[in-house]
A and B are shown apart, each in its own frame.
Chain A
Amino acid sequence: MNTDKQLKFRNTARRGAKWLERGVEGLFTASGWVSIVIVLLITIFLFKEGFGLFQSPTVEKGYVLCVHPSNPVERLNASQIKHIFDYETTSWSEVGGADLEIRPFRFEEIFDYYAEEEFGPDYEFLPDKLAEVVAGDEGILAFLPEQYLPADRSGIKIVEAGNITVTDFFGGREWLPTSTPAPQFGALPLILGTLWVSFFAILIALPLGMGVAIYMSELAGERMRKVLKPAIELLAGIPSVVYGFFGLVVIVPLVQRAFDLPVGETAFAGCLILAIMALPTIITVAEDAMRNTPLAMREASLSLGATQWQTIYRVVIPYASSGISAAIVLGIGRAVGETMAVLMVTGNAAVMPTSLFEPIRTIPATIAAELGEAPAGGAHYQSLFLLGCILFLITLVISVSAELISKKQRQAV
């Protein structure tokens, strides 16, 4: 009886422990999957918000574009609208209409046509007055709030502007997200700016990084390595905003003076800072790959009468080539995603990159600079998320290709 009781007691204790164990193991498993969940969530949120942009109308929400009823033009796209209101496109014939001068008309201008009291105490006559203006000018293109459109629409014709399209975004050459009546979401200058700056940054960082990697893996003694390694880790650890600050107060004036430029905040200043920031990545990965070259390869080369340098560039570097490519790819990744430093030194002009010595703007810098001012849910906000998607995809491609490249190296061994 006694023993039986004891046994039962033991069993329940075991069961309790087992439940606890199961619970904790479940917790471990759940945490194990957390990275996957996060990446999925990031993807979902970014793309959900970002692709909302293509459901946004080209002209500001709540507004329409109207023309004289006799005007044959049915549609206008974002960049046409923008150019008309900038007085760059001046004739309807340029956008598929009659040979007639365009008269862009913004809603506020109505107050130049009529005195305040003519609109009535509650602005009840405003729609009629607007209709009058539109009907009175054959060349007009009026940008009007929907709520003030006249009930009788016979005197006006609404021009379709449609939604923002994929080509507007990826092919557009102008990034003017706050321009009215049609904000311009041409991401091309930003995408090219990002790639442009990153490319030249790597071009600068590569020789430096490779030199140091070779030095550390082939020439430096143990003691020198012990000094260099933490120094490079430190270089990697400095916050990007500190790099940006350094760039702003040192590199920018330096660039301006050295090349006699009107402003120092240029793509080149960005390249220099990014090059420094990409160095640690390039050095560490490339050095690792080179140190992995088996001693047997080096010995074989030396035993055939090759000098140490010949051994390095004919055996070690080819052997480590995929590791070195991975280093380059990861370096580019670092440069592409860098935000604060670039924001602080590149001048942030959203123009198509043509020269290294002009201001430029990258995707991350655009997001950082504009997200604060973009009202949540609006087209501008969505466009910034779409930029985030592009950035996300670029880095995804970079991570995956780095992974594949280094896998190739592992297989070759």
Chain B
Amino acid sequence: MIEAKNVNFYYGDFHALKNINMKMERNTVTAFIGPSGCGKSTFLRLFNRMNDLIEGTRLTGECLIDGQNIYDKSVSVVELRKQVGMVFQKPNPFPKSIFENVAYGLRVNGMKNKKEIEEIVERSLRQAALWDEVKDKLKKSAFDLSGGQQQRLCIARALAVSPTVLLMDEPASALDPISTSKIEDLIYALKKEYTIVIVTHNMQQASRVSDNTGFFMLGELVEFSETKKMFLNPDKEQTQNYITGRFG
């Protein structure tokens, strides 16, 4: 279970997230929507502490996973990031072979057994629905794959280290419609085993894949509720405007 309590976040003087409270259940898909620059990606990146990499940022409040504050001093960032996987907006495979891309996370986490690695790589690629397409060219460079395949490879790479939570930052925004629908099917299938949080600018996508949706605007969480309710009967007028504005 993921929880944000009174989260405020600053880039220098800029107040990027304002007093956000949210709870996400296990094995659900939560979507964040909102206009660009509204803070949804920033919020997502709090949960594997990716924002730590940016200088001059500040956080107040608590981010909890299974009741543990992930910003606590005793928490190992590296361990956290292993448990909370992330898929980025643009496919970002390493300049290595397909196999090595998926095996990377295993290797940096100290796995040496060749057989075990091979098994996990295959399993992850199958989970990401990519196995059949690449099983004959695992030694080829990941850059030889199409954009959609690369993104699924990145998902497989994230799955290989068996995270509990999967964060997805607009995973389909750089892809064509067919690849996008493949990714969406994948998200639906992965829900059984993972807690998924996805940022998207595409509201149809949010409505298709998610159980709950949060609507962000200007750093505030305007509304957070069940996806169906959000799209059919939102509580706030701003939400209504945004959803209809986009569609209409």
Contacts and interface: CB of A to CB of B under 8 A. Distances in A.
Interface in B117-160: 154, 157-158
B53 A299 contact: yes
Nearest to B160: A304
Contact of B85 (A301, A304, A310): A304
Interface in A371-402: none
Given A297-B94, A299-B53, A300-B94, A305 B81 contact: yes
B92 A299 contact: yes
Contact residue range for chain B? 20 to 34
Interface string B35-63: 00000000000001010010100000000
A315 B105 CA distance: 12
Contact of A300 (B55, B79, B92): B92
Contacts of A315: 94
B94 A301 contact: yes
A318 interface: yes
A23 B39 CA distance: 59
Contact of A305 (B50, B55, B96, B105): B105
A36 interface: no
A299 B45 CA distance: 11
A35 interface: no
Interface string A286-301: 0000000010111111
A306 interface: yes
A307 B78 contact: yes
Interface residues of A, number: 20
Which of A297, A302, A314, A412 has the most CB atoms of chain B within a 10 A radius of its CB? A302
Given A299-B53, A318-B95, A412-B95, A304 B104 contact: yes
11 contacts: A299-B53, A301-B94, A302-B81, A303-B88, A304-B157, A304-B161, A305-B82, A305-B109, A306-B104, A306-B105, A307-B108
Interface string A62-76: 000000000000000
Interface string B71-112: 000000011011101101010111110000000110111000
Contacts of A143: none
Contacts of B82: 304-305
Interface string A304-323: 11110010001100110000
Give the top 9 A-B pairs by smallest Cβ distance, nearest first: A305-B82, A304-B105, A296-B92, A306-B108, A303-B86, A310-B108, A300-B92, A305-B81, A305-B78
Contacts of A412: 95
B161 to A, nearest CB: 6
Contacts, number: 67
Tell which of A221, A306, A412 has the most Cβ of chain B within 10 Å: A306
B94 A305 contact: no
Contacts of B90: 296
Contacts of A310: 108
B108 A314 contact: yes
Contacts of B93: 300
Contacts of A298: 53
Contacts of A296: 88, 90, 92
A298 B92 CA distance: 10
A273 to B, nearest CB: 37
Nearest to B90: A296
B176 to A, nearest CB: 20
A303 B48 contact: yes
Given A300-B93, A300-B154, A310-B108, 9 more contacts: A297-B94, A299-B53, A300-B92, A300-B94, A305-B108, A306-B78, A306-B104, A314-B108, A315-B94
A319 B95 contact: yes
Contacts of A304: 81-82, 85, 104-105, 108-109, 157-158, 161
Interface string B150-194: 000010011001000000000000000000000000000000000
A296 B89 CA distance: 9
Contacts of B157: 300, 304
Contact of B79 (A299, A302, A305): A305
A314 to B, nearest CB: 7
A67 to B, nearest CB: 70
A263 to B, nearest CB: 49
Contacts of A302: 50, 53, 81
Nearest to B157: A304
Most buried by A among B53, B83, B93, B108: B108
Contacts of B158: 303-304
A304 B50 CA distance: 11
B88 A301 contact: no
B94 A303 contact: no
A116 B82 CA distance: 100
A294 B104 contact: no
A221 to B, nearest CB: 8
A216 to B, nearest CB: 16
A319 B105 CA distance: 17
Interface in A206-239: 221
Q: Residue among A294, A301, A303, A306 with the most chain B CB within 10 A?
A: A303
Contact of B108 (A294, A299, A301, A319): A301
